[in-house]
Structure 1
């Protein structure tokens, strides 16, 4: 996918900032649709099927987190970058739990935004993301069935609803089952960067997946010291 073919849906209600960002991205060959509200953005998303979404967190009729959750109900793959002036670590975690792939704090440089767009849309990012049949359940160990499209983890009659990011991370582990995955690769493939906040978020998600999978002794997410993780099961 070339930059000129890339379709960006950009949702930002600060019109001066939005104009600067839109013009800068278009000057680099991207196709940009800018909207200022969540409601118009959701309609445009369904009509246009963009390659990537850039969402401001604070919008006049909703927040970007809620918009992302609506999109993730049917689309687990289109990358989402959040733009925000919020700086609390919990806001970052909320962004990723809502289905975001990256989180960029204002003010930011256009160069940084472009790098993150390219990282999230590059072909190399899809190497670990293909499933033979995304609608078919994946068996984990002897007790679990993972339904990726529905973001559900089932054990007998117990059903756990996963967040979009938990489902993406579990999918990545299953596509690389019994193989060592280095921490940086996980961060880059899921979030598009490996900064401090995404690293902390990854730690939270690993802990949660381990808790969900703790009932089957055949299944483990192992720490590989100095490298990353390995899913066995």
Structure 2
């Protein structure tokens, strides 16, 4: 399975080397040398599996960056990879919420194994909590909450949540109107069909922050949700 990693590292040589090595390990790395670009990058490409932060960065320290980051992404896994090897630094990083803290120079094979372990544990935790990542959104079906990357969470109705879950589970597939109505409404008639059209419009509005998510309609046939990378 290919992982998508966000790397915040200002050292050009080390960043390039790390990006290339992780690519050999079947990982896609989006590399930022300027930490101030983090928010924009998460908004544009927020479907990351985890992040790696240096500590000594320009403009803002990695610790400060992480503190700000977890306010918007409290459950997002990240580790620090840094030359700061003092015990007090490691403890500071772990207290902030990092899953791991590694020091440079590091063993690339060890880093790859730690990344894989972190992503696997995080995926199991998300699955257990009933969470889905839909582009830059976090969807908590159990609590009926849809949280965008920026802004307040959206409280869904039970039917909105069921409709979104069904579409996302079948993303890339054209679902007929009858399939959706049977699954989400439990029966098919003129009035439930009109109701479904209204609910589809609501979901499009809720998901408009991420323009890679498209709910397309095929006239008289049905709907399809796509995530365009």
- What range is the shorter-chain TM-score in? 0.5 to 0.7
Distance change >3 Å, CA 93–CA 29, structure 1 → 2: same
The alpha carbon displacement at 1:41 in A equals 2.1
8 Å CA contact retained: 2:77, 2:122? no
Q: Give the whole-Å Cα distance in 1 for the aligned partners of 2:86 and 2:121.
A: 32
| Residue 126 in structure 1 maps to residue 124 in structure 2 | yes
Q: Give the whole-Å Cα distance in 2 for the aligned partners of 1:119 and 1:96.
A: 17
| Residue 22 in structure 1 maps to residue 26 in structure 2 | no
Report 1:190-201 matches (<5 A).
Answer: none
8 Å CA contact retained: 1:58, 1:84? yes
Aligned counterpart, 2:57? 59
Q: Give the whole-Å Cα distance in 2 for the aligned partners of 1:54 and 1:124.
A: 15
TM-score, length-normalised on structure 2?
0.53
Distance change >3 Å, CA 50–CA 94, structure 1 → 2: same
Please tell me whether Structure 1 or Structure 2 has the larger radius of gyration of its CA atoms: 2
Q: Give the whole-Å Cα distance in 1 for the aligned partners of 2:95 and 2:122.
A: 23
8 Å CA contact retained: 2:53, 2:78? yes
Q: Which moved more, 1:119-128 or 1:12-21?
A: 119-128
Q: Give the whole-Å Cα distance in 1 for the aligned partners of 2:19 and 2:112.
A: 12
Distance change >3 Å, CA 132–CA 109, structure 1 → 2: closer
**2:36 counterpart SS class:** helix
Q: Which runs of 5+ in 1 are unaligned?
A: 137-148, 150-233
TM-score, length-normalised on structure 1?
0.52
| Residue 117 in structure 1 maps to residue 115 in structure 2 | yes
Q: Give the paired residue count.
A: 135
CA RMSD of aligned residues (A): 2.6
Q: Which runs of 5+ in 2 are unaligned?
A: 132-139, 148-229
Q: Give the whole-Å Cα distance in 1 for the aligned partners of 2:129 and 2:50.
A: 20
